[in-house]
Each structure stands twice: as C-alpha cells, then as structure tokens.
Amino acid sequence: MKYNLSNIKKAKKILDKHDCVAIPTETVYGLAANAYSDKAVKKIFKLKRRPKNNPLIVHYYSLMELKKDCEIGVNFQKLYNKFSPGPITYILRLKKNSKISKKVTNKKETLAVRFPKHKVARKLLKLLDYPLAAPSANISTKISAVNSKHVEEDFGNKIKFILDGGNSVIGLESTIVSLVDRPKILRLGGLSNSEIKKVLKKNLRLELNPLQTSSPGQMKIHYSPGIPIRLNIKKPREDEAYLLLKKNIKFQKNVYYLSKNGDLKEAARNLYFTLRRIKKDKFKSIAIEKIKNIGLGKTINDRLLRASKFNG
Ligand code: TXA
Ligand code: MG
C-alpha cells in the first residue's frame, strides 16, 4: 500500500498534543500515544477500558532510541539482529533514568518493547522525538483489529484519527519474549518459537499459563469475537458458521476458509478478519475444525482456545 505523508504528519500533530491515534502495524493495529507523557498514556487506558495493571508495549524506531530507556544484553542483540523490525516484543529492564511514563509499566521495572516493520508506522516513528506506547487497538478482551475499519467498529469517533495502512500482513500479535532473566516466551505470536530457539541456541521456557500474571494480557478470556466458539469440530450444527483451515468441497453451507491450501501464514493473516466477518454475517456461534498445532498453528490455537472461553 502507498502511504500518504500528509496523513502521517496529521497523526504526528495529534500525538504531539498528547492525544491518541490508531496506527497500522504488520501484526495488528495499535492505539498509540506518547510513551513519555503521563497525560497521553492515561488516555489509552481510558479509551481501551484496560485495567491499569496491564502494562503497554512501547514501539521504537531504532536501537539508538531504545538504549536511552532500557538495558540490553547479548540475547537481545542476537534476536534484534535477526528479527527486528518485526513481530517480536522484548521484555527488558528499564534504566533508572528512563523517561518512560510510570503509567505505561504500572511502576514495573521492566518494559515491553517492539520495533514494528510496517512502512507507515516506521515513517511516523521516525518523525517523532518520543517512542509510542500502543496496545492493540481493540476493546479489552475482544479481538484485535487488522485494518482501519475494524478500529472504527470498536472505537467509532472516540479516537481523533485512524492512520490507515491497509490490512496487517501478519494478522496476529507479536511474540513476547522476556529477556529479564533466562529467556522465556510469555505470549505466542506472529513469530514462531522455533525460529527464536534457533537463534538463541537454547531451550526456551514457556510461561503462557493464564494464572501467572507476568503478562496480564494473557488472561484466560481474550481475543473473543463476542459469540461462542467450539473447537475441534468435525460436524458443525446446521445453524453455526463452520471455520476450516483450508477449502474443502465436502462442506458447502455456512463455511469460511482461513486459507486456500492450509498455509498457516495465510491462515494467521485471515484469522481475526474472518472471525469478525462471521460475527457481521449474524451467526450466533462458530464451530472450528482442528487446526494443526505446529508453527503459527500454535499461535492460532492459543488465540482460539482463549476466545472459546467466552460463552455468553
Ligand atoms: O503485535 C503487538 O504486540 C501489538 C502491536 C500493536 O504492537 N500490540 C499488542 O499489545 O498486542 P497488547 O497491549 O494488546 O499486548 C501486550 C501484552 C499484554 O499481554 C501485556 O500484559 C504484556 O504485553 N506486557 C506489557 N508489558 C509487559 C511487561 N513489562 N512484562 C510482561 N508482559 C508485559
Ligand atoms: Mg491486545
């Protein structure tokens, strides 16, 4: 998609005034504000109806800016060289003299940081003299937005401006890896764990249990389209939408596909989009076929499992 420089400048103007703007990223859209400003960050929490103890990810343009706020080590450097900018978020120790608003972290001593790859996001970050705190641009516990229309559906005119950057090409949130102690994955995401393992050459611990609160966004009910979801279904009911990983001519009625041939990257990109579509098509529930639990399939299954906890 071709970006529009005057829109990027408009976003900057609003952000400079300590207001929020929705921004495109390659994973999902973010609800962004100046991470150095208490006033701006407060607005994010309010708009999103997000609990204050759930810290935000901060988005940087380059390593130079990050180094002012966070301590970095060897593992970070390895991962950064390989995967950033891209769909990976690092949990790092904050520097004592960092300017990050205490509201971003809920006074924690660590910070979640990411370098988005999306052209429009990068262009914007480059123009700013502060990093952007940005959680996913959706109402808390609901499905993330993967285009500007979705953001509009969730927030209407409560947000001053939505910077359009087309559809998010990854379509799932970033993978979160904590580098505060021994590396561990806190959230499965758009980069698969095996890729991270290869670079660190170590076994990676997973800490995805919703009862452990080191990543509060991993709460049990999350990513919900707002209608019940049933998993691993071979035979859907007459009245439900049936979501398949790949096209299958055996099923004709009420069927949606995540990909043409079962490609998991394509399926990931289409997941939130399709769940929102099904809801719009007025189905009251969704049956989903079993999705292979490898690579990005693991992230897809993680999101679906959490979404399936919604039942009313
Ligand atoms: O792809 C993404 O990561 C998107 C785009 C917009 O960058 N952002 C995103 O943000 O998904 P959000 O706020 O929806 O999810 C951030 C997660 C939350 O689960 C939060 O609890 C966790 O990161 N988190 C933030 N700071 C943390 C910290 N210091 N330690 C552990 N987890 C943290
Ligand atoms: Mg989120």
Task: Indicate whether 212 pLDDT > 50.
Answer: no
Give pTM, 2 decimals: 0.95
CA-190 nearest atom, ligand 1: 1
Mean pLDDT of 104-111: 93
Mean pLDDT of 289-312: 90
Mean pLDDT of 116-124: 98
Task: Indicate whether 1 pLDDT > 60.
Answer: no
The CB of 301 under 6 Å from ligand 1? The reply is no
Pair of tokens at residue 267: 């399926």
3-state helix, strand, coil in the chain (%, to 5): 35, 20, 50
| Cα angle for residues 210, 211, 217 (degrees, 5° grid) | 45
Which band of pLDDT confidence, cut at 50, 70 and 90, is reported for residue 215?
Answer: low
Taking the C-alpha atoms of residue 219 and residue 226, their distance in angstroms, rounded to an integer, is 16
- Tell me which residue has its CA closest to atom 3 in ligand 1: 174
C-alpha 252 to ligand 2 mean position (Å): 33
The CB of 143 under 6 Å from ligand 1? The reply is no
Query: pLDDT value at position 218?
Result: 52
Q: For 237-279, what is each residue's pLDDT tens digit?
A: 999 999 999 998 887 889 999 999 999 999 999 999 999 999 9
Torsion of CA 71, 76, 80, 82, to 10 degrees: 170
Beta bridge partners of 32: 21
CA-56 nearest atom, ligand 1: 25
Counting residues of the chain whose pLDDT is more than 70, the rounded percentage is: 94
| CA nearest neighbour of 116 among 179, 29, 1 | 29
Task: Indicate whether 211 pLDDT > 50.
Answer: no
Q: For 33-63, what is each residue's pLDDT tens digit?
A: 999 999 999 999 999 989 999 999 999 999 9
Beta bridge partners of 22: 31, 162
Residue given tokens 């950033």 in the structure block: 84
Task: Indicate whether 106 pLDDT > 60.
Answer: yes
Which band of pLDDT confidence, cut at 50, 70 and 90, is reported for residue 150?
Answer: very high
